[in-house]
Amino acid sequence: MKIGIISLMDIVEWGGSEELWYAMAERALKRGIAVTVCILRPIGEHPKWKALQREGAQVFSEGEEDSYARSLRYRIAARTDLLGARLAAAVRDRLSPLRPFFATRPDVVLISDGASIPRRETIGVLMTHLAMQPYIVLSEANLGEIPETSLRKAAAAYYRDAHYALFVAHDNIRATERQIVQRLPNARVVRNPVNLESLDEPVAWPQTPTLHFASIARLFCLAKGQDILFAALSDGRWRDRDWRLSLYGTGPDETYLRELARFYAIDDRVSFCGQVEDIRAVWKYHHACLQPSRFEGTPLAMVEAMICGRPVIGTAVAGIPEWVREGRSGFIAPSATADSYAAALERAWERREEWSAIGKDAREDALRLHDPNPGETLLSLVIEAAESRRSA
């Protein structure tokens, strides 16, 4: 058997949306199943790409020569009818790895997307190659856009013809059905892997009088909402409280967020800590996970924080309220606005003496919802889809 994997995530070299298919690919390769991967961006230097190739996976990727296909101008044009010569060339370059990928004749294809609605030209090329081919769609987040009519109809066919439409949150199934005006009886919820070597014990509660918040997310406000968080913490009520905030992650909005922290006069309490690999080390020194997202799948950092025994203060977006129960495992802002998030922070502050106990409940809830073998779960679904063609 040969499994084909297409990653449509093209904004960063590696992201959280890559972890589930990667875990599945690792499992498949260890079983002796051939794996072919196609990415619509340059391969980069991330160690997991090297690990896949070392284990025997074949990888097709976009060349380095033209970054236009990943530029803001391209993304705007690709969602309109502005098909100029430069855009047409960028589309061809970006999608060019698909041809040699499909030439390897995979028995089943998994398409992993960091969003829910692929671009118009991407769907067109995929559906041409996927005719009579079993495939599974894996959507890791929902951006909330309303596709224009032709793209909506194409996306509806794309999801309808998939063996499974997989999502990481029940809310994202409902959102996608609303976007494409179509029920998805083939939809299933799957869980992402967590970046923790052991789940056996929570992380000991920090014994410091200062409250230390942590936000672990890409510095990308459109999705992760760090600007909402800064606005909420600039409220006068927080001026005389003893708190610190650590931001872990990198991204395109780092300069903006540094300026915004100065603008709100909270820069003396906000630290930019860069990328982090040792998640348990973070929670040795921090009391609560802040998740002010505007759109999401189910954030891995949130699940990891809960397993480590930390309460979450999040927004009612996608998978966050599916994991976090108001007042039990954390606090939920009904909307992704500064006022709503400030109110959630205030409710949390009023119960700060209970945070350790709330963190224990958060861990209990997360362990109940967590899939201990998400790569194996996904692999079983992919194998089922491949075998459906043989029995047809």
- How does pLDDT run across 209-258, given as a tens digit for each residue? 999 999 999 999 999 999 999 999 999 999 999 999 999 999 999 999 99
pLDDT tens by residue, 325-352: 999 999 999 999 999 999 999 999 999 9
pLDDT at position 70: 46
Which pLDDT band holds residue 87 (cuts at 50, 70, 90)?
very low
Q: Can you give the pLDDT at residue 66?
A: 42
| Chain centroid to CA 29 | 24
High-pLDDT (> 70) share of the chain, %: 90
More confident residue, 85 or 364: 364
pLDDT of residue 30: 95
Residue 38 has pLDDT above 80, yes or no: yes
Question: Is residue 382 very low, low, confident or very high in pLDDT (cuts 50, 70, 90)?
Answer: very high
Q: Identify the band that residue 92 occupies on the pLDDT scale cut at 50, 70 and 90.
A: low
Evaluate if residue 112 carries a pLDDT over 90: yes
pLDDT bracket for residue 392 (50, 70, 90): low
Q: How confident is the model at residue 391 (pLDDT cuts 50, 70, 90)?
A: low
| Whole-angstrom distance, CA of residue 92 vs CA of residue 128 | 15
Residue 290, token pair as written in the block:
């802040």
Distance of CA 1 to the CA centre of its chain: 28
Question: Quick check: 63 pLDDT over 80?
Answer: no
58-61: strand order across its sheet: 58-61, 34-39, 2-7, 108-113, 135-139, 164-167, 187-189
Angle between helices 374-391 and 19-30 (to 10 degrees): 70
Confidence of residue 107 (pLDDT cuts 50, 70, 90): very high
Q: Please report the pLDDT score of residue 248 as a whole number.
A: 96
| Confidence check: pLDDT of 156 > 90 | yes
284 token code pair: 């040795």
- Domains detected in the chain: 2-194+372-391 (3.40.50.2000), 211-369 (3.40.50.2000)
Q: What is the mean pLDDT of residues 41-69?
A: 76
Place of tokens 């395109």: 252
Cβ neighbours of 284 (radius 10 Å): 12
Q: Average pLDDT, whole number, for the chain?
A: 89
So what's the pLDDT on residue 216?
96
Contact 297, 140 (CB under 8 A): yes
Measured distance CA(355)–CA(352) in Å, rounded? 5
Q: What's the pLDDT at 43?
A: 77
Q: What is the mean pLDDT of residues 364-369?
A: 95
Q: Per-residue confidence at 25, pLDDT binned at 50, 70, 90?
A: very high
